[in-house]
Amino acid sequence: MKTKDLVLDGLLVAVGVALGFLESLIPFPLPVPGAKYGFANLVTVYSLYELPLIQTVLILMARILISGFLFGSLSSLLYSLSGAVLSLLIMILLKRQVPLLLVSIFGGIFHNVGQLITACLVTGTWGLFYTYGFFLVLVGSLTGLTVGILSKLFLRASERIFHGLR
């Protein structure tokens, strides 16, 4: 791995952790348990489009582990890990097929679906799927859309900022 890549990856991890912390300071307007904005996904979407896959995976894992150990507990780590892995898989699958906005929306949805599956496994009650499924898919698509729009702006801006750097 080149030094430039290493620096960029470190920077993106730091941005992801910071965004994750930042969003915990802003109260979520909808009364859905565990719902978050998922601004940190901005970093994942960005690296998915700009960097090789292996770097995207490394950045994601580093961000989750750091955020988990800094702000969360073991169970919250488990939830964000399962959500992030499923979300990333779906986004990789969709990336070449559909526009960024839709990729981000489905990323958001499957982040919540992954967490919901984990919640069902942990508690052993699949009924949770019916109780929260609708809200989590709805919230996931809304936050996914937001992150998608932000990612588009971010990608456009980064073309100028990182021009000549990479």
Sort 34 into a burial class: Cβ within 10 Å, 0-12 / 13-18 / 19+.
middle
Min dist CB 166 to other proteins, Å, is 28
Alpha helices (H) along the chain = 3-25, 41-50, 53-71, 74-95, 100-123, 128-161
Nearer Cβ to other proteins, position 46 or 132? 132
| Dist. CA 113–CA 120, nearest whole Å | 10
Nearer Cβ to other proteins, position 11 or 98? 98
Token pair listed for 107: 């990323």
Among the listed residues 33, 15, 60, 56, the one whose alpha carbon sits nearest the alpha carbon of residue 115: 33
Min dist CB 110 to other proteins, Å, is 11
Min dist CB 38 to other proteins, Å, is 17
Nearer Cβ to other proteins, position 71 or 134? 134
Nearer Cβ to other proteins, position 67 or 143? 143
Nearer Cβ to other proteins, position 61 or 142? 142
Min dist CB 94 to other proteins, Å, is 8
Min dist CB 85 to other proteins, Å, is 20
Token pair listed for 2: 């080149």
- Binding interface with other proteins (CB under 8 A): 94, 97-99, 102, 105-106, 109, 127, 130-131, 133-134, 137-138, 141
Sort 80 into a burial class: Cβ within 10 Å, 0-12 / 13-18 / 19+.
buried
What's the half-sphere exposure (Cβ side, CA atoms, 13 Å) at 82? 16
